[in-house]
Amino acid sequence: MRITVYLDEDVPSSFAQALINRGVDVITTQQAKNLRQSDANQLVYATAEKRAILTHNKRDFILLHNEYIQSGKEHTGIIVSDQLPTGVLLKRFMRLWFSIKDTDMKNRIEFLSSWR
């Protein structure tokens, strides 16, 4: 099954709309009414909803990923990216989306810079 996505609040709404236009199942932090929640709470929400979280906040989410792995907790995937123009972000994300199944994202962190 394809990856379903939860977009952190730092990801632009134009990117969310571009994903929706391409058939990606996506929900934003705004839609979930999770604005200004901690990164830890955002990851808990994404995991509860069985969605990979996509964020520009690399440092904090790498730390969260490491904490989860070290403590034996599970998450449904973290996708991190530099802040890029929507078109570049979309191209990289779609390469990942067509290549990796949702089950392969479990406890995994992916860097969109690897999907050029």
Q: 27 in helix, strand or coil?
A: strand
Taking only the tens place, the pLDDT of each residue in 37-61 is 999 999 999 999 999 999 999 999 9
Residue 11: give the domain boundaries. 5-114
Which tens digit of pLDDT belongs to each residue from 6-36? 999 999 999 999 999 999 999 999 999 999 9
Centroid of chain to Cα 2: 13
Residue 4, number of CB atoms within 10 A of its CB:
18
Q: What is the CATH number of the domain that holds 42?
A: 3.40.50
CB atoms within 10 A of CB 35: 9
CB atoms within 10 A of CB 5: 25
